[in-house]
């Protein structure tokens, strides 16, 4: 109980004293502004690789975890953007989109460096190049999943044909897109916490904050979706800007939870270090 209180106190104090709310707003705005450059660059790369189902796949991977009332209008715009021919991968617009999409990664890096109480001594060129690598990895993962969009139904149909006794198990895999979205989300969180900020951390060191983040994200998504459907009146307040304002506010909540997850990991590591120092 004493250690739990120390972790909670350290988390909340450090988040508040280190401008956690301001950093969360920076992350929310940067991620939202990096979203369309990311999908434009992804569309160019996917077209180059022949992934025709990329638009549908990336829409599912990004927006399946969002409340439906927020995700629907933005996902429609994303799909509309993805269906426009960009003229190939190595165009100036695609390269510019790749660069601007790294701004979202850099915002996450800043928030994690502050949360983990580390100073990044690497040059801006190295960190920006790493961010570009993360963007390319994310696009390639989306492309790989898009191929599964074509393969998945075929596998399910063959399984039903040759293994009828396993119908319950096969039916469970009909929702494989949700499962894939969850796996991609967890993998992204692990990669972000372990390799994005400066310093070194073990996977086991970042798991507590990731677990808290996933639980809090789920609760906030359902809660915010219920609020918008039951009591929200953003359309009357913001008119045509309603969808973007709601999305920005939701991303603000998500970013704050993401930072708190990292703060929890850092606080637990501090408590462990103190216990180790006393025992040594």
pLDDT digits (tens, 9 = 90+) for 54-99: 666 777 667 766 777 777 777 777 777 666 655 555 567 777 888 8
Average pLDDT, the chain: 80
Which contacts of 178-185 are long-range, i.e. CB under 8 A and separated by 24 or more positions? 178/64, 180/61, 180/145, 180/148, 181/60, 181/61, 181/64, 181/65, 184/61, 184/141, 184/145, 185/65, 185/214
Residue 239 is predicted with a pLDDT of 47
Question: pLDDT band for position 175 (50/70/90)?
Answer: low
Residue 42 is predicted with a pLDDT of 77
Residue corresponding to tokens 């989109």? 97
Residue 251 is predicted with a pLDDT of 92
> Helices 92-115 and 176-195, interaxial angle, to 10°?
70
Give the torsion sign (CA, 224, 225, 227, 233): positive
Whole-Å CA distances, 24 to 56, 78, 166, 250: 29, 24, 46, 11
- Domain tally for the chain? 1
Question: pLDDT band for position 39 (50/70/90)?
Answer: confident
Q: Does pLDDT of 262 surpass 80?
A: yes
Q: To the nearest whole percent, how much of the chain has pLDDT over 90?
A: 36
Query: Minimal CA–CA distance to 74: which of 38, 128, 105?
Result: 38
Full domain range(s) for residue 222: 2-279
48 by Cβ neighbours in 10 Å (0-12 / 13-18 / 19+) ranks as: middle
Do residues 122 and 198 touch, judged by C-beta distance below 8 A?
yes
The residue-averaged pLDDT of 31-47 equals: 81
Instruction: Write out pLDDT tens, residues 207-247.
Output: 999 999 999 998 998 888 787 777 656 555 554 566 777 88
Residue that wins the pLDDT comparison between 222 and 253: 253
Angstrom distance (rounded) from CA 197 to CA 92: 30
Query: Minimal CA–CA distance to 204: which of 151, 143, 272?
Result: 272
Residue that wins the pLDDT comparison between 275 and 177: 275
């Amino acid at each position: 109980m004493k250690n739990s209180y120390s972790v909670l106190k350290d988390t909340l104090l450090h988040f508040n004293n280190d401008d956690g709310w301001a950093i969360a707003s920076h992350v929310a705005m940067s991620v939202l502004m990096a979203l369309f450059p990311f999908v434009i660059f992804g569309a160019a790369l996917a077209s180059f690789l022949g992934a025709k189902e990329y638009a549908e796949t990336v829409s599912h991977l990004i927006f399946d975890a969002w409340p439906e009332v927020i995700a629907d209008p933005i996902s429609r715009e994303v799909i509309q953007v993805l269906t426009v021919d960009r003229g190939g991968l190595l165009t100036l617009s695609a390269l510019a989109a790749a660069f601007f999409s790294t701004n979202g990664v850099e915002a996450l890096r800043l928030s994690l460096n502050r949360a983990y109480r580390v100073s990044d001594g690497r040059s801006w060129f190295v960190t920006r190049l790493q961010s570009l690598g993360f963007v390319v990895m994310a696009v390639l993962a989306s492309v790989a999943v898009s191929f599964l969009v074509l393969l998945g139904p075929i596998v399910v149909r063959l399984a039903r044909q040759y293994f009828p006794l396993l119908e319950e198990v096969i039916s469970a895999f009909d929702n494989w897109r949700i499962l894939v979205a969850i796996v991609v989300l967890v993998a992204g969180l692990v990669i972000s916490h372990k390799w994005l900020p400066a310093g070194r951390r073990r996977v086991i060191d970042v798991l507590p904050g990731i677990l808290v983040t996933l639980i809090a994200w789920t609760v906030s998504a359902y809660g915010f979706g219920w609020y918008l459907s039951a009591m929200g009146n953003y359309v009357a307040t913001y008119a045509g800007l309603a969808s973007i304002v709601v999305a920005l506010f939701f991303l603000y909540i998500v970013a704050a939870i993401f930072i708190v997850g990292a703060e929890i990991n850092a606080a637990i590591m501090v408590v462990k270090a103190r216990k180790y120092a006393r025992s040594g």
